[in-house]
Amino acid sequence: MLNIILCGAPGCGKGTQSALLVEKYGLKHLSTGDLLRAEMQSGSEVGQKASEFISQGNLVPDAMIIEILLKAVDTYSKDAAGFILDGFPRTVEQAIALEKAFEERNNKISFLIDIQVEREELITRLLKRGETSGRSDDNLETIKKRLEIYEEKTAPVNDFYKGLNKYFAIDGIGQIEEIFGRISSVIDSSK
Ligand code: AMP
């Protein structure tokens, strides 16, 4: 199975690239942000708990998101050729839990791809997205908070995967197809 973590700061293009990867490699896309927004829309207890964290730009608690992610993995494992994990893991604790859970399921994470985009460009993209996304967290104050949290909590996940020799970085600036080409080269050369 090909199980890829797509990592990078908010606004780096993870969602856009995931959609293209689904098409080319037949992988199942699991976005923890999308899973949480679906919970919020349904008005579930989990969704209600998550909404405050999300609208303030904070991460939801590890235990909550690990449970949501693994439930989705178990739901789709039988039919999927593999997974693209988008927005997970966002802390080293989540990464450790993910590695352990996949091992217990006789599966493994293939590698992490880090889509690199500089801060000013991320802010420009997210503000633009905020004009139409309707997301409670696409405003300047919350965007800055999310970028700070990315540096503090999520960037160490990259180091964790470097330590496992499962880390690849690509340049996230350019045309969508161009960036997709860079990601595809990493995947194809790993086969
Ligand atoms: P995203 O759509 O990936 O930008 O996620 C939107 C928001 O959902 C984040 O800012 C967090 O509040 C929350 N979230 C998504 N994934 C995670 C995760 N793996 N751990 C903690 N919080 C998450």
pLDDT of 177: 98
Task: For residue 26, report the distance from its CA to the centre of ligand 1, in Å.
Answer: 24
Residue 13 and residue 137: Cα distance in Å, rounded? 16
Closest CA to 61 of 25, 84, 32, 19: 32
pLDDT of 43: 96
Enter the pTM of the model: 0.95
Does residue 145 contact residue 57 with C-beta atoms inside 8 Å? yes
Query: Taking the C-alpha atoms of 60, 65, 183 and 75 in order, what is their torsion angle to the nearest 10 degrees?
Result: -150
pLDDT of 133: 93
pLDDT at 162 over 90: yes
Task: For residue 37, report the distance from its CA to the centre of ligand 1, in Å.
Answer: 9
How confident is the model over 21-61, as pLDDT tens digits?
999 999 999 999 999 999 999 999 999 999 999 999 999 99
How confident is the model over 74-111, as pLDDT tens digits?
999 988 999 999 999 999 999 999 999 999 999 999 99
Once rounded to an integer, what is the mean pLDDT over residues 163-167?
98
- Mean pLDDT for the chain overall: 97
Is 90 considered catalytic here? Answer: yes
Is 119 considered catalytic here? Answer: no
pLDDT at 191 over 80: no
